[in-house]
Chain A
Amino acid sequence: MPQPTQVDPRGLRVNAAITAVVLALVLAVPSEPVRTVLLGVQVVVFAIAVLVGLSASPWALVFTTFVRPRIGPPAELEDARPPRFAQLVGLVFTTVALVSLLAGATTVALVATTLALVAALLNAVVGLCLGCEMYLVLRRLAPAGTA
């Protein structure tokens, strides 16, 4: 079995923390243009993490450039697949938020942002991957024949 890509778990926490700050600002700043730009930036960050890889995400680069040199190498690495899946879930929610905002449905946009913020905060604070928790529940819904 090939070894799956590994990531530094502390980088994931920093990534989630920056994401949480960006999404919290989307909620806190009552300005349509600022919200649009912040959501747009986060959508791009999520998209890079999903399409290219976690280590290519701009927030991951913040970690490897500024944080990692100060705290040294990690004690252990983690499988990259769960967090990458979580970034996909984040991408879906922030994309819904951005599209809603552009369409003038501000409340829908802010609620979607709130859900993404809860997931990012849980990841940053207690290391819980909400997207991963949902994965099996969603997978179970697949028709019995496909198992």
Chain B
Amino acid sequence: MIGLVLLGIALVATAGVALLMRWKNGRFSSQPVEDARERLTAGQIGAPLGERATLVQFSSAFCSPCRATRVLLTDIAATAPGVETVEIDAESHLQLVRDLEVMRTPTVLVLDADGVVTTRASGLPRRDQVLAALDRAVPGGK
């Protein structure tokens, strides 16, 4: 009897997690209030900041959606002038991962021209989600 109850719970839990992930993946957070924003430097991310914006992706070895995310961000940066992408290996930058409270890979941060983290999302984002986030980070075009 308990086996069948647990089977039912497993099915409900699976549906719940699947829906939660669909909602969560690629959903960029609303802009943090001015003084709660974090700022990253070129030294911290190991690459120069983009002239207008930088897309910072945290990746790890055990991460299937990281590759698709990298392809998408690279493609977006190639067509958007002044936008650079940087991929950071989470495992070799654990202090940065803790400081920024990165919990999943991929996590994408959108930095403005000054390196201020304007918004972030985890999971594989859709193209329109990244473009909308960029638009908010860099007023006046993608």
Contact = CB atoms under 8 A, between A and B. Distances in A.
Interface of A: 24, 26-30, 78-79, 81-83, 85-86, 106-107, 110-111, 113-114, 117-118, 121-122, 125-133, 135-137, 139-140, 142, 144, 146-147
Contacts of B105: 136
Contacts of A132: 62-64
Contact of A147 (B13, B18, B93): B93
Nearest to A132: B62
Nearest to B11: A121
B6 A83 contact: no
Contacts of B22: 126
A129 B105 CA distance: 12
Given A118-B14, A121-B10, A126-B21, A139 B4 contact: no
Contacts of B90: 136, 139
Given A83-B64, A140-B94, 6 more contacts: A24-B10, A28-B7, A78-B64, A118-B14, A129-B64, A146-B94
Contact of B94 (A85, A110, A114, A139): A139
A132 B3 CA distance: 27
B74 interface: no
B117 to A, nearest CB: 18
Given A81-B62, A147-B92, A136 B4 contact: no
A110 B6 CA distance: 8
Nearest 4 Cβ contacts at the A-B interface: A147-B94, A27-B3, A121-B14, A27-B7
B3 A30 contact: yes
B2 to A, nearest CB: 6
Given A81-B61, A139-B91, A122 B6 contact: no
A137 B92 contact: no
Nearest to B13: A118
B17 A118 contact: yes
A136 B134 CA distance: 26
Interface in B87-142: 90-95, 97-98, 102-105
B94 A144 contact: yes
Contacts of A86: 62
Given A125-B14, A144-B94, A147-B92, A28 B21 contact: no
